[in-house]
Every structure is written in structure tokens, then in C-alpha cells.
Amino acid sequence: MEQLLSVLIGVLVAASVYLMMGRNLLRFLFGLILLSNAANLTIFVAGRLTPGAPALVPEGLDAPVGDVANALPQALVLTAIVIGFGLFAFALILAVRAYRSLGTLNTDDMRVAEPKDQV
Amino acid sequence: MNESPSPRWITPAGLLPVVVAGALFFYFVQMVPAIADGQTLRHVIEWVPSLGVNISFLIDGLSLTFALLITGIGALVMLYSARYLAGHVHQARFSLFLTSFMLAMLGVVLSDNLLGLFVFWELTTITSYLLIGFSHATQKSRRSALQALLVTGVGGLALLAAIVLIGNAAGTFELSEIRAMPGVLTQSVAYLPILLLVLLGTFTKSAQIPFHFWLPNAMAAPTPVSAYLHSATMVKAGVYLMARMHPSLSGTDVWLWTLTIAGAITMVFASVMALRQTDLKLALAYTTLMALGALTLLLGNDSAYTITAAATFLIVHSLYKAALFLVVGILDHQTGTRDANKLFGLASAMPVTATAAAIAALSMAGFPPFLGFIGKELKYAGALAVASEPILVAGAFLIASALMVAIAGIVSFRPFWSRSGDPIPNVKEAPWPMLVGPIVLAVLGALFGIFPDLLAASLVNPTVEAILGPAQEAKPLQLWAGVNLPLALSVATFVLGFTLYFYKIQLRNMLIRLVDSSPSFDRGWDKLLAAVLAGAKWQTRVIQTGVLRRYMFITFGTALAAMAGTLIIKDVVMPVLGVPDVTIADWLVFLLVLLGTGLTAITNSRIAAIAGLGVVGIGIAMIFILYSAPDVAITQLLVETLIVVLFAAAALRLPGMGSEPLRSRPLDALLAIGLGVSTTAVLLMVTSGPIDLELTTFFQTASWPQAFGQNIVNVILVDFRALDTFGEIAVVMVAAIAIYALLKSKPEKDQT
């Protein structure tokens, strides 16, 4: 399954890069979501996959018995998902706000900081 | 500027610097007997021992001479400033800058470690910048300040490079240790780069041609600053460093000729330019340049005559020049002008100032029995002893000294005694704090002239010994050395000087026509700055296009080059793809995510795209469920739901996506596929290699015994790595606050 997921992550990365290279800010945001999904999966896969054995310590014991899932990448991914969401939410509202001010979602035309006549 | 009768000048801001400078002066004075005895004092504080960087101080004759000039003239100038700037809004700021400068300058001349010296060197540059730009409301001040900062700053960088090279060649940054190894630098392969870089630093600091132009401009600073920094002390930092490095760098043809040529040209050019000026302060600025040129020229040699001449002239010049600057400041302060064509016959109105000016000017012109005469005789004796071209050098000194006679007359004879014009009415004598400095400095010039042994034994001889080593005796300082060639040259100087003074108006008019029609370094500087700015604009235009797509292209392209490049260079063998352990459920999830991704990537509909994203999210959540990560799956599902809700709300306020122009998309697709394939390749390699489970094992075994939690993932989040989780919450909070602010803010009307 690690190999299958590696391929899947490659596809996710390719799709997100393709979207982020677009001129429309919404496409860019979709690409951002896919990229953070790809990153989360990468961390998860890098810690190896263990089916059907969550990282739990059985009652009355000091440590889990046998092969259980790698808990560390899971903890990292949990944090990453939440932060990725925060980033997306902020970027989305920034796009809304930018559209309200500039009247466009085309990034080629969003040039308040670097106006065309100065470059 | 006859201001209100007597503004309050006895203030902490005005007087504290005087106390500090005065105390330091007496501290250094009590060291004179020991140093004159031939001792040196050294004090080391380790700073970065692993890099050989120490804060170490060394006091020998050379350092002590400079330290006394810095603190002594400093105390007088600060007393003067206390009154000169009394009532100024920013007087406290001025005092702070001036005191900081004094301490930095002391650091330069006392440091034994080259890196320490460099730090203090740069501090003098910065404080000089602040002081030149003190009247920051005028454009001229700002320009002059920036010019001085940039010119001396470039020199500072060159000096740093030189210091690194010296450290490599000698194996130490301690100047005393470098001096103890004769030839370690002159015979090093890096000698030429070291020498040129050091000289670039000292020439910019001491305003040698072609870096001289910042010094006359620096006269935009208040007059006490000009007297102190740009005449007596800071501009001599370059001279100091040349003297300091003299034992280690001199004795070669490059040293001799570079210093001789730069010094001689600066000296003659500056004295001619001085005659052109009508602003008395500018005239003095050019004579300072002349003095710096003379000192550079003298330091090029290593005969006892030239070095004794340099040490003596250094002191003479500081005394009379600071005094004259202060006198010009008094004229400016009391009459409101520094124009040589407006100031006449003020001697009866300001008798004390006139007397001080006369004594200082006689020393400057080199009349006996003043110290200036001894200095001039020594300069001629030194010129005749140079190793380069004695006749040419003596000739250059003759021209420069004759011009000094004329300029001394213009600056301090004409404004007070000349009857060529009417005196400005109602001029009052300056208040006493402003008179102390000129009088003390001028009288010292006379005193040392009459008792030259006093100065020779205490400062000149130890300085010469510090430069040439104990083997060489300093030449004696004497008023009457018998009838010899220097005396004949002195007589010629006076004759020529008086002639020049007599024809000064005609000469000046001629010079004004000549100078104004020839190219100027100052205008060249403007062109240079403009060229730099144009270069910066061009570079910005190329790199910062303002087009997001291009930035993304560069970012992704770099990532691709790094990943694919590494894979190719390292000649990586790909693990064989096989699917032995894949279940039906795996395949189904895989296809689900693939479908969602594809849909998101190609659709032009926002609803379809968000649906595709939802599918991807749920598919990934299912992967988490299949592979034992229930907590992650729950979070993933929750976040996916929130994303859809948020987007639906936002989409109401946004237009549709439309389609991308097809022209650029094939290239984008190529880049995307490249990055995707590279990522897959890297991941395949990672997952086929070994894994280090040390941390995981720790968490598994510590979870229950240490944190009393059975769900290891939860324990990591809220216990072992609680600070990370706290940071995560903070990020979400910041995002929420920022979103709130964005939604609340009103759109600007003027931007479309």
C-alpha cells in the first residue's frame, strides 16, 4: 500500500501544482488544499502503514502489545491538518476581501504592491 | 545671530559630556610619564576566544597621543558646544552623538585587536553620519551625511576584508603580536591585496584623493562637529591606521609610492582649492585635506625625519585647526555669516577671539616661535629625506605651505584686522565657554613652540618609537636648527605666501572660473548614485515582476530542479514496483481519491471543484481509518466539512472561475507532472528504506507510565508535545482574528 500511496501523493502534487499555476485565485486555493492533503499523507506514509492496530495501550499494561500503528506521524498530521485549515480559511477570506477591493480574481491583475507602471 | 541675551546653557545635556571628556583626559595625562619611559600598557578582555576575537587595549606613544587629542580637544569642543547649541531642541541628542563618537574614536586608537578596531571604526562612521546629518531638516545635510556614510562605509568593508586576510597571513588579530613578527605581512603572498584594501579603508576615512569629496560636504555639520570630527580626530583615523600598520606594511615600493603620490596630489590640490573658497569654514575644510595629504605623504617613508615630522605635524595641526574652526564657529554664531567677503575689522568688537585666532593662524602659517614653525621645518627636513623624489616632494610642501600662509591670513587676519570693508555693526564678543577652547588650543601651540622639549619628550618621541621601533631615535624638535636648507625653504614659503595673500582676490576669481568649468568629483558622485539606483530598478524589474504565476513558476521550478537533479546526480536505483499487499479496499480508496483529484484539476465549475475536493478529503480520511489512525480521520472529516461550508459561504460573494487561457497550460502541466513524478520517486525510496523507530518506541513505552494515557496519539498531543498543540491553537486563533479584521475593514474606494 505504501507504493500505491506514493503514486497517489504524486498525483495530488501534480494536480495542486497545475492548479496553483492558474491565473484564477480560486484555482490557486484549491491547489493549496490538495497540496496540504498531499503533505499530510506524505508524513503519514513516511511513518509506515499498519492496518487495524491503533496506537493504544491495553488496560492494565504499560505498553502496547505487538505491532501497532506508528503514533508519532499521526500526532504530527493531526497538528498539520488543523494548521492547514487555518491557512486555507485565512487565504479564502483574503481572496474575498481582495475581490471586494480590486474587483478581480485574476492574479495577473492584482498589482497594488507592484504596479505595472513602476516595473 | 544675536539671539536672546543669554540662553540657559548650564544643563546636564550640555555639561555631562564635558565632565566625561575631561575626566578621560586627565586619566590619560597621568599615563604620560610611564609611556614616555618607553613602557606600553595592555589590557585584554576575552570576547569570542574560539575565533581569536578579544577586546584588547594597548597604550603606547601613538595611541596615547591620539587619546590625548581626542579627549583633550573633545572636552574643549564639548564645552564650546554646550554654549553654541544652548537652547537647541535636540541639544541632548547632539551631546549623546558627540560623546558616543568620542568613545568610539578612543576605541579605534586604543584597540590592539584588529576586529575590535574595526567595530570601533564603523562606530565612528555611524556617529559621524548622525552628526553630519544633525540638521536633518535640510536636504543638503542629509545628502552630505549619506555621502560620507557610503564613502567611508565602502572603505570600512575593504578594511574588514583586509583584516581577514591579515588574520590568515599572521595567524592572529592582535596588532602587537603582528608587529612582533617583522615581514609576516610584507613577505606574505597576500601582501598586495592586504595593502590595497587597508589603503582603501584609510584613504576613504582620511579623505585622500579620489575619495576626498565627502569631507568638504561634511561641513554641513554644526561647527563644533567640524572642528572635532572632521579636522582633529575622525579623519585622522585613517592616518592613525597607516601609522599603526607602518611597522608591518611599510618598506616596500608600493607603500612608498602609493602614499607619496596620493598624499602629494591631495596636499597640493586641497591647498589650491582652499584658496578658491569664500566660505571660511570650507576654506578650513580644504586645509584639513591638505594636512591629511601631508601626513599620508610623510608616513610613506621610514626615515626618522619624516616620521618625527608626521608625529609633530599631527599634533600641531590638531591644535591650530580645531582652534580656527572654533573661531569660525564664533564668527558664524555672533555675526550670522562665514563669508570672507563680508567679515572685516572685528578685532575691536571681539578682542579675545581675535587674539586666539591670530595665535592659531601664526602657528598654521608656520611663524616662529610657534609650534607650527617647528612642524614646518621638520616637514621640509622630512621632505628632503624621503626615499622617493626629495625635490618634487619638497616642492609640493613649499606650494602647500605657502598657500597655508595665505589662507591663515584670509581666515584669521582679514575678518579681524583688515580695513578693506566695513565691520558688521553691533557684534558682541562670544560668551566665555566658547572662548576657552580657541584660547587654550592656540596658547598650547605657542607654549610647545617655545618649549619644544616638553612635547618631544612626552608625546613625539614615544610616538616615533611606536612607529619605527626603539632602534631609531626621533629627530629633535627645535626652534633654531642653524642656517640650513629647511630654513631657506621657510623664508621662501613666507615670501611666496605673502605674494599669494596679496593677490588673493584675483587668484580666487581665476580659480572659481577654472574649478567650475572642470569636472567635479561631487557631481560624479551623483551620477554614480543615479547609476546604482538605475541598476537596482532594472534588477527589480527582472526579478520582481508582480506576476504571481511567475513567482510560483520559479518556486516550483527550483523545487523540481532540486529533487529531480538530486535523483539524477546521485544515480538512484528505483525500487521495483510491486503490489503484493494491496487489498480491494485500498484500490477503491485509491480510485476515489484519483477521481476527486482529476475532477478538481480540470473542471471550470466551482461546485464541481469543491465536490471533487470533498471526495479527496473523504478518501484520505478513509485511508486514515484503514491504517489505524482514527483520531486523524475524525479531524480530517471535520475539517473537510468546515472547508466546504466556508467555501460555500464565500462563493456567494465571488464570481465564477472561468477557464484558463490554454496557451500556457501545457507548460504548467509539464511542470506539474515533473514535480508529481519526482515526489513519487522520492517517497518510493523513502518507504523502501529502513525506518528509525526510536521516538515511536519511547512514546509507546512512556505513554502510560509517565502520562497515564492509553491513547498514545492523544498523549503525544496534549502531554509530550503540548507546546506544539498550544502553538497550533495560537495559529488558528491568529487566523480567526485576522479573518475578522479583514471582513470588518472597509474596501478602499480609490483602488480598482
List of chain B residues whose C-beta atoms are within 8 Å of the C-beta of residue A61: 704
Query: What pLDDT score does A67 carry?
Result: 84
Dump pLDDT digits (tens) for B423-447.
888 888 888 889 999 999 999 989 9
State yes or no: pLDDT of B610 exceeds 50: yes
Compute the distance between CA of residue B300 and CA of residue B392 in angstroms, rounded to an integer: 15
User: pLDDT tens digits, residue range B30-75?
Assistant: 999 988 888 888 888 888 777 767 789 999 999 999 999 999 999 9
Measured CA to CA, the distance from residue B215 to residue B102 in angstroms comes to 19
Question: B533, B548, B701, B751: which to substitute to probe chain A, counting the most A Cβ within 10 Å?
Answer: B548
User: Is B742:B735 a contact under the CB 8 Å cutoff?
Assistant: no
DSSP letter assigned to residue B717 = I
Domains of chain A in sequence order: 2-51+68-106 (1.10.287.3510)
pLDDT of residue B196: 94
- Pick B680's closest partner by Cβ from A9, A21, A58: A9
pLDDT score of B123: 95
> A4, B660: Cβ pair inside 8 Å?
no
Q: Tell which wins on pLDDT, B239 or B426.
A: B239
> What separation in angstroms does the CA of B122 have from each of B68, B117, B129, B168?
21, 9, 11, 22
A 50-89 near B (Cβ less than 8 A): 50-59, 61-64, 68-72, 74-75, 77-79, 81-89
B655 and A99 within 8 Å at the Cβ level: the answer is yes
Q: How far is the alpha carbon of A15 from chain B, nearest alpha carbon, in Å?
A: 6
Q: Distance, in angstroms, between A117 CA and closest chain B CA?
A: 11
Whole-number percent of chain B with pLDDT over 70: 97
Picking from A35, A86, A80, the residue whose alpha carbon sits closest to that of residue B616 is A35
Backbone angles phi, psi at B643, to 5 degrees: -60, -45
Helices H / strands E in chain B, number of each: 32, 2
Determine the Cα–Cα distance for residues B376 and B313; give it in Å rounded to an integer. Answer: 8
User: B700 and A63: CB-CB below 8 Å?
Assistant: yes
pLDDT at B748: 61
More confident of the two residues B572 and B1:
B572
State the pTM of this model. 0.73
B126-140 residue pLDDT tens: 999 999 999 888 989
Minimal Cα–Cα distance from B145 to chain A, Å?
A: 28
Across the range B450-461, mean pLDDT stands at 88
Question: Looking at residue B210, what is its pLDDT?
Answer: 86
Query: Of chain A residues 25-54, which have a CB less than 8 A from chain B?
Result: 26-28, 30, 33-34, 37-38, 40-42, 44-54
**pLDDT value, residue B238:** 93
Of A97, A99, A101, nearest to B751 by CB-CB distance is A101
Q: At what angle do helices B351-365 and B390-408 cross, to 10 degrees?
A: 170
Bridge partners of B56?
B44
Q: Using CA atoms, how far apart are residues B38 and A74, in angstroms rounded to an integer?
A: 75
Q: What is the pLDDT of residue B1?
A: 42
Q: How buried is B147 (Cβ within 10 angstroms: 0-12 exposed, 13-18 middle, 19+ buried)?
A: buried
Partners of residue B540 in chain A, C-beta under 8 Å: 119
pLDDT of B149 higher than 90: yes
Q: Residue B578 — very low, low, confident or very high, per pLDDT cuts 50/70/90? A: low
The answer to whether the complex's ipTM is over 0.90 is yes
Q: Which residue has the cell 588579530?
A: B173
Q: How confident is the model at residue B391 (pLDDT cuts 50, 70, 90)?
A: confident
pLDDT at position B752 is 44
- Contact (CB<8Å) B635/A68: no
If DSSP codes are grouped into helix, strand and coil, which group holds residue B166? helix
Best of A16, A26, A45, A88 to disrupt the B interface by mutation (most B CBs within 10 Å)?
A26
Q: How far is A59 from chain B (nearest CA, A)?
A: 8
Answer yes or no: are the C-beta atoms of B300 and B392 closer than 8 Å: no
Which of B539, B541, B582, B600 is the best substitution to test chain A (most A C-beta atoms within 10 A)?
A: B600
Distance CA B466, CA B66 (A): 12
The residue type of B163 is I
Q: Which residues are within 8 A (CB) of B54 and not within 5 positions of it... i.e. 6 or more apart?
A: B44, B45, B46, B47, B112, B113, B116, B173, B174
Distance in Å, alpha carbon of A31 to nearest chain B alpha carbon: 8
